[in-house]
C-alpha cells in the first residue's frame, strides 16, 4: 500500500483501521461501502459479527454457529486490496457478567493477535456493532469512532437492557459518534457532545445502470403481468409489514408483487396469494436489472422503534435506479422529499396508484440523488473527525460548524 505523508491525525490516509461490524460477504450495507472507500488509502481489519442477538434452538441459528466455528479456524483472509477479515469466536450473549468477561478476554486476544500479524499501529477503531463495547478502547487503538446506524436494543431477540448498557459505555469512550438518522442523533448526543449526523449515501453508478439499454431484465420477472410492484431487502418481522403487503396484493389483483430477499418470518399468508412472487435473495450485482423490471418500488416498514430510527438504504437505491418509491411514514424517508408516503394502508395504496401513473425507471428521478454518493458521505465524516481532533484552543468553533453541517445534511 502506498502510504501518504499525512501529518494530521484526523486525516484518513495511510492509517490502520479496525472495523467491528456484521459478517463480511452479505449484501453491502453502509459499513461495506465506507470501508471499501477507506481501504483505497488505508488498511482495514474487518472483524466479523460477534453477535448481539441471543441465539435460539432454530436450525438457522445452529447452522450459523457451525459456520462461525469453521470460519474461526481459518486464518485472516484478505478479501480485497488492503481489506482483511477476521472471524473471531464469541458467545452471542451479553446478559451475564461471566459470559461478558469471557468474551472480553477471548475477543481481545484474537483481535490483538490479528493486529500483531498485520503490524497494525496507532489504529482507529470504527465500531458499528455496539456489542464490541466489551473490547473497544482496550486494543491499544488511538481512538474509537462509534458509527451508529440502528437502534439495536429495539431489535427482536436481543437482550435490550444489556445492549443499552454496552452502547452507553461505547458512546462515552468514543472520540466521535456518527449517526445516520435524526432520531439517533438526538438520542446519542445526550451521552456524547461529539455526536454528528451523517445520512446514508448511495452507490449511484451501480443503480443507475437500471436505465442502460444494455441492462437485461431477468427472465423470472420479464414476462410477469404488469405493473410490477417491487421490493428488495430482508423479509423479517422488524422490517416488513406483512399485512400491508397482503393488502397491496389484494388491492392490485392484476399487478405482480415481486419481493427479493432472505425470508426470516412467516410469509405463508402472503405467498399463498396468486400475484405474489417471493424470489429469494439476489446478488447485489443483479439488483439494478431487477429494478429495471419494476414499475414502482415499496418500503413497507412497520412503524416501530427500530424502523423509526432507521435510514433505509433502499430508498436512495430505488431512486438511483430511477423508480417511483412509496414508503410507510419513516422519518428518514420523509425527509428525503422524493418518495410518496402512506400513513396508513388506504393512503399507502392511494400513493401507489399515483406512483404507477408514471411507472418504471426515470432518468430525472435517478439524477435527484446523484450528489448523495458514499464518497460525499465519507468526506463529511472526515470533516467531522478533523473538528474533534483540533487542539483545544481552536476546537471551540467546531460546535457551530457541526450544527451547520447537520443543517446541510438535512
Q: How many residues does the chain have?
A: 410
What pLDDT score was predicted for residue 55? Answer: 45
Separation of alpha carbons 15 and 6, rounded Å: 9
Give per-residue burial for 108-119: e unless 16+ CB within 10 Å, then b.
eebbeebbeebe
Low-confidence ranges of the chain (pLDDT < 70): 1-10, 51-75, 91-98, 100, 390-410
| pTM of the full structure | 0.87
Separation of alpha carbons 188 and 304, rounded Å: 19
What pLDDT score was predicted for residue 81? Answer: 97
pLDDT digits (tens, 9 = 90+) for 111-169: 999 999 999 999 999 999 998 999 999 999 999 999 999 998 888 877 778 889 999 99
Phi, psi of 407 (to 5 degrees): -60, -40
Could you tell me how many helices (H) and strands (E) the chain has, helices first? 18, 16
End-to-end CA, the chain: 36
What pLDDT score was predicted for residue 26? Answer: 78
Q: Which domains does the chain have, with CATH numbers?
A: 16-197 (3.40.50.2000), 204-367 (3.40.50.2000)
Separation of alpha carbons 280 and 263, rounded Å: 7
Amino acid at each position: 500500500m502506498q502510504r501518504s505523508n499525512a501529518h494530521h491525525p484526523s486525516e484518513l490516509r495511510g492509517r490502520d483501521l479496525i472495523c467491528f461490524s456484521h459478517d463480511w460477504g452479505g449484501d453491502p450495507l453502509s459499513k461495506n461501502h465506507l470501508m471499501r472507500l477507506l481501504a483505497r488509502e488505508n488498511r482495514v481489519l474487518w472483524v466479523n459479527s460477534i453477535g448481539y442477538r441471543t441465539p435460539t434452538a432454530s436450525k438457522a441459528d445452529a447452522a450459523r454457529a457451525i459456520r462461525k466455528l469453521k470460519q474461526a479456524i481459518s486464518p485472516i483472509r484478505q478479501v480485497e486490496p488492503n481489506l482483511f477479515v477476521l472471524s473471531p469466536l464469541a458467545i452471542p450473549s451479553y446478559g451475564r457478567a461471566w459470559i461478558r468477561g469471557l468474551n472480553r478476554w477471548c475477543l481481545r486476544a484474537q483481535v490483538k493477535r490479528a493486529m500483531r500479524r498485520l503490524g497494525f499501529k496507532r489504529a482507529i477503531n470504527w465500531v458499528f456493532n455496539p456489542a464490541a463495547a466489551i473490547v473497544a478502547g482496550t486494543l491499544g487503538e488511538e481512538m474509537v469512532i462509534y458509527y451508529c446506524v440502528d437502534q439495536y436494543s429495539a431489535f427482536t431477540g436481543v437482550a435490550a437492557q444489556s445492549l443499552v448498557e454496552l452502547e452507553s459505555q461505547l458512546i462515552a469512550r468514543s472520540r466521535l459518534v456518527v449517526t445516520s438518522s435524526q432520531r439517533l442523533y438526538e438520542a446519542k448526543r445526550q451521552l456524547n457532545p461529539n455526536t454528528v449526523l451523517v445520512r446514508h449515501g448511495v452507490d449511484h453508478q451501480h443503480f443507475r445502470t437500471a436505465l442502460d439499454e444494455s441492462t437485461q431484465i431477468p427472465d423470472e420477472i420479464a414476462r410477469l403481468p404488469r405493473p410490477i410492484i417491487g421490493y428488495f431487502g430482508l423479509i423479517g418481522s422488524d422490517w416488513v409489514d406483512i399485512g400491508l403487503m397482503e393488502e397491496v396484493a389484494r388491492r392490485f389483483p392484476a399487478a405482480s408483487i415481486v419481493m427479493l430477499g432472505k425470508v426470516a418470518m412467516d410469509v405463508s399468508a402472503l405467498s399463498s396469494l396468486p400475484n405474489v412472487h417471493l424470489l429469494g435473495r439476489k446478488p447485489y450485482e443483479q439488483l439494478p436489472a431487477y429494478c429495471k423490471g419494476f414499475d414502482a418500488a415499496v418500503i413497507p416498514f412497520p412503524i416501530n422503534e427500530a424502523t423509526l430510527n432507521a435510514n433505509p438504504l433502499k430508498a436512495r437505491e430505488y431512486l438511483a435506479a430511477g423508480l417511483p418509491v412509496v414508503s410507510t411514514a419513516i422519518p428518514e424517508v420523509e425527509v428525503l422529499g422524493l418518495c410518496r408516503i402512506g400513513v396508513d394502508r388506504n393512503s399507502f395504496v392511494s400513493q401507489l396508484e399515483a406512483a404507477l401513473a408514471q411507472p418504471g425507471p426515470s432518468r430525472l428521478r435517478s439524477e435527484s440523488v446523484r450528489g448523495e454518493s458514499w464518497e460525499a458521505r465519507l468526506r463529511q465524516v472526515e470533516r467531522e473527525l478533523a473538528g474533534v481532533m483540533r487542539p483545544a484552543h481552536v476546537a471551540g468553533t467546531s460546535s457551530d460548524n457541526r450544527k451547520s453541517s447537520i443543517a446541510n445534511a438535512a
